[in-house]
Amino acid sequence: MGKTLFDKVWDKHVVDTVENGPQILYIDKHLIHEVTSPQAFNELKERGILVARPDKIVATADHNTPTVNQHLPVKDALSRNQLEQLEKNCKENNITLYGLGHKYNGIVHVMAPELGITQPGMTMVCGDSHTSTHGAFGTIAFGIGTSQVAQVFASQCLLLQKPKSLRVNVNGKLKKGVLPKDVILYIISKLGTNSGTGYFCEYAGNVFEEMSMEGRMTVCNMSIEMGARGGMIAPDQTTFDYVEGREFAPKGKDFEAKVAYWKTLKSDEDAVFDQEYSFDAEDIEPMVTYGTNPGMGIKVTEAIPETDDESFEKSLQYMNFKKGETLIGKPINYVFIGSCTNSRIEDFKVAANFIKGKQKASNVNAWLVPGSQQVAKQIKEEGLQEVFEAAGFELRQPGCSACLAMNDDKIPEGEYCVSTSNRNFEGRQGQGARTILASPLMAAATAVEGKIIDITKHLN
Amino acid sequence: MEKFEKLVDTAIPLPVENIDTDQIIPARFLKATDKKGFGDNVFRDWRFHKDGTADSDFVLNNPKYKGSVLIAGDNFGCGSSREHAAWALAGYGFKVVVSSFFADIFKGNALNNGILPIQVSPEYLKQLLEEVKQNPSSELTIDLENQTVTSTVGEVEFEINPYKKLCLLNGYDDIDFLISKKDKIEAYEALV
């Protein structure tokens, strides 16, 4: 029986197998940030253990950072302390840190790929569930808890049970106005939020093959929202072209040798998956969520389903929506374009293309938060900033921002926010805030119209 | 980590599905740099109104229900990888969570903090939730050694990874184990 892409990368990283137990998996890159690392550093310190491989760790500050006035001291004392702890821990342990204000600073899952830290065939972990993003490169990448962060610090390895394999195929031609975000929201709406639990997912089919790396990252990013620890796409020329020339990518002959190896990283024809699903690209339309988990998604033209279930009703009550109603025409006062799902240059280009020559509706607060300093720089250099400013959008500084609202970027109680982020959980964007997940195009259109529209009718 | 001993206790029913880690501990409480105090804010936005007063409708505020066992709806612990969720549950005093399904990362985090996640069938969960709701003094016996849950609605077996079971029973954690494999890890590094 042939091997899957996942098998190939996994098997190459197995250090040892515990009898009747887990395997020891070697980790090539460990990304850390200020929120889930301090307790792991403390753990090591208390036990007198040194960080095993500091050169394989890269740190950034992103979750708990302000998105305005980053040159000034952070106002919130607890947040400031957390950032100072990260700085101190990195210094004491010789770990590279791209802190606030550094030219490489950004959301961990935006900055690592754009710097060429993320490469095909690697194993990567981070104390953040959206680490699945890096799977877009044919990398085994997944989120871990803080105990596991400490384990990787101590040994550069993790004890893991090999997950089951799942493949999601999407073939055909995507309709106009359907973005990678719609593809993944559609898949999750069909499969549910726990369909992937216990599995590692591979996305296959011409739809993913034709996607840019940014689009693939959006898809893999949300693998965790269907419960899968990670999602992967086989590396191809698009991947190699993206990686080539980036700051920490291999150069010259090294790069060529790597590409030769990376080309072998695809599932064999006769590989068998534990579970497989297939969808037609033609069936996908621009999506919105109406509930409090990412599986509660519908095509923007569809009505909210009439499901009789206590948890479903609790969810609709929180959102103040009714069964059977449409979201089209719902007034929206907040729009957020950002997060590790959709804060790359391509996302802002999509938004700018729609916004150009139009004005933001007066009722809307529209926040644009680039994923990294590099993206912020591109926004400026490529003339997008003028488009956003002329239309009345607020371009802020990089960070996780209103995706999880740890900093001051919170949506007020009871307000709806059309958001390009990944989670519409109760209170996720602020206490009592109501999140509607959508693509950057849907978000931009909502900001312009001040309400949810059927975007398919507004495209030339 | 503390050893997990046989447990006999009452339980708290929380029949909500897809309880995500943002509900268990909202992000605004993740600013601490140690593991202490998270129990005070477990299920914060369900336990308290925005003005800080307790919501008497929420089960943790109902004096009838006490105990170190939480019984929750399907797909418990989905969402963020924040281990703060496990620290918050442990800090509040929970030692066991029973559900018909657990999210992956949460499950691992729970086990790494001495909390036992027990997966039971949806039918058993339904009966158990009903029983505990009606009879708050109804006790459950959790026997990790024999992998059984016993209640007035019957005894069922549950599964656990043998290695993780050993860790819980003995209070071991993965760091000790991984460090003991240093030679193998270095041999691997020399090869690649």
Dump pLDDT digits (tens) for B124-133. Answer: 999 999 999 9
User: Can you tell me whether residue B25 is helix, strand or coil?
Assistant: coil
Chain B residues whose CB is inside 8 A of the A26 CB are 185, 188-189, 192
**Alpha carbons A82 and B178: distance in angstroms, whole number:** 28
Residues in A closer than 8 angstroms to B103, CB to CB, are 194, 197, 227
Tokens describing residue B115: 């909390």
Q: State whether residue A30 sits within 8 Å of chain B by CB.
A: no
Q: Which two tokens stand for residue B134?
A: 């009606």
Q: What's the confidence (pLDDT) of residue A256?
A: 98
Q: Could you tell me if A140 and A26 are in contact, meaning their C-beta atoms sit under 8 angstroms apart?
A: no
Residues with pLDDT less than 70, chain B:
none
B182–chain A Cβ distance below 8 A for any pair: yes
For residues A407 and A399, give the distance between their C-alpha atoms in angstroms, rounded to a whole number.
Answer: 10
Residues 51-110 of B with CB under 8 A from A: 73-75, 78-84, 86, 101-105, 108-109
| CA separation for the pair B42, B163 (Å, rounded) | 29
Residues of chain A above pLDDT 70, percent: 100
**Helices assigned H by DSSP within A1-93:** 5-12, 38-47, 77-92
Chain B contact present for A26, CB below 8 A: yes
Residue closest to A236 by CA, chosen among A139, A141, A138, A324? A138
Whether residue A425 and residue B108 make contact (CB cut-off 8 A), yes or no, is no
Instruction: Flag whether residue A156 sits within 8 Å of chain B, measured between CB atoms.
Output: yes
Q: What is the pTM of this model?
A: 0.97
pLDDT at A58 > cutoff 80? yes
pLDDT digits (tens, 9 = 90+) for A388-447: 999 999 999 999 999 999 999 999 999 999 999 999 999 999 999 999 999 999 999 999
What pLDDT shows up at residue A373? 98
Measure B17 CA to nearest chain A CA, in Å: 6
Per-residue pLDDT tens digits for A88-139: 999 999 999 999 999 999 999 999 999 999 999 999 999 999 999 999 999 9
Q: How far does the CA of residue A161 sit from the closest CA of chain B (Å)?
A: 9
Instruction: Please check whether residue A24 is in contact with residue B181, taking contact to mean a CB–CB distance below 8 angstroms.
Output: yes
Instruction: Flag whether pLDDT at A460 surpasses 80.
Output: no
A148: chain B residues, CB-CB within 8 Å:
108, 112, 174
B112 in reach of chain A (CB within 8 A): yes
Cβ <8 Å between A194 and B104? no
For the cut 90, the answer to whether the pLDDT of residue A168 exceeds it is: yes
Residues A39 and A86: beta-carbon distance below 8 Å: no
Least CB–CB distance from B33: residue in A85, A314, A405? A85
Interface with B, mutate which of A13, A42, A82, A426 (most B CBs under 10 A): A426
Separation of alpha carbons A426 and A237, rounded Å: 40
The answer, for A425 touching chain B at a CB cutoff of 8 Å, is yes
CB proximity A63 to B under 8 Å: yes
Task: Say how far apart CA A83 and CA A100 lie, in whole Å.
Answer: 9
pLDDT above 90 (res A19): no
Q: Which residues contact A66 (CB under 8 A, 6 or more apart)?
A: A74, A75, A79, A397, A399, A407, A408
Reported as type and span, the H/E element at residue A65 is none
Tens of pLDDT, residue by residue over A211-261, are 999 999 999 999 999 999 999 999 999 999 999 999 999 999 999 999 999
What is the overall mean pLDDT for chain A? 97
- Nearest CB to A64: which of B31, B78, B86? B31
State yes or no: pLDDT of A1 exceeds 90.
no
Q: Does the distance separating the beta carbons of B175 and A150 come in below 8 Å?
A: yes
C-alpha torsion A40→A129→A247→A6, nearest 10: 110
Q: DSSP of A216-249, one letter per residue? A: HHHHHHGGGGGT-SEEE----HHHHHHHTT-TTS
Nearest chain B Cα distance for residue A167, angstroms: 18
A to B CB pairs, distance under 8 Å: 177
